[in-house]
């Protein structure tokens, strides 16, 4: 599973940066087109949900998602590895 912030919903309030016990979120530095500094993710694979949600079949933390006032945080299924043909040119 992969942690994702919906940039169209996020308003940059940074509540998520305060509540995460693993400090996954950091205050964003760059403003997007809407003038919002979206939080940056610091090694999101450390998140309990990202690592273990699928294995345990349930949400294991989710404090950030519960706290976000704009429902901007969610988890997405990662695509399985898809092999590609590799063309080697000499
Ligand atoms: S709590 Fe939600 S709206 Fe606020 S910065 Fe985090 S993702 Fe964005
Ligand atoms: S689910 Fe918990 S550990 Fe994962 S990013 Fe959100 S607050 Fe942090």
Return the sign of the alpha-carbon dihedral for residues 25, 3, 65, 60: negative
| Ligand 2 close to Cβ of residue 38 (< 6 A) | no
Q: What is the pTM of this model?
A: 0.85
Q: How far apart are the first and last CA of the chain?
A: 39
pLDDT per residue as tens digits for the range 2-54: 999 999 999 999 999 999 999 999 999 999 999 999 999 999 999 999 999 98
For residue range 61-76, what is the model confidence (pLDDT) as tens digits? 999 999 999 999 999 9
SS3 46: helix
Burial class from Cβ neighbours inside 10 Å (0-12, 13-18, 19+) for residue 59 reads middle
Q: Give me the half-sphere count of Cα atoms (radius 13 Å) on the Cβ side of residue 86.
A: 4
Cα 35 to ligand 2 centroid, rounded to whole Å: 25
């Amino acid at each position: 599973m992969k942690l994702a912030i919906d940039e169209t919903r996020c308003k940059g309030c940074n509540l998520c940066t305060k509540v995460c016990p693993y400090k996954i979120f950091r205050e964003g530095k760059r403003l997007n087109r809407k003038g919002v500094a979206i939080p940056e993710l610091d090694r999101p694979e450390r998140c309990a949900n990202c690592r273990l949600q699928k294995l345990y079949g349930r949400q294991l933390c989710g404090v950030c998602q519960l706290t976000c006032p704009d429902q901007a945080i969610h988890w997405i299924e990662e695509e399985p590895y898809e092999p590609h043909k590799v063309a080697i040119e000499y």
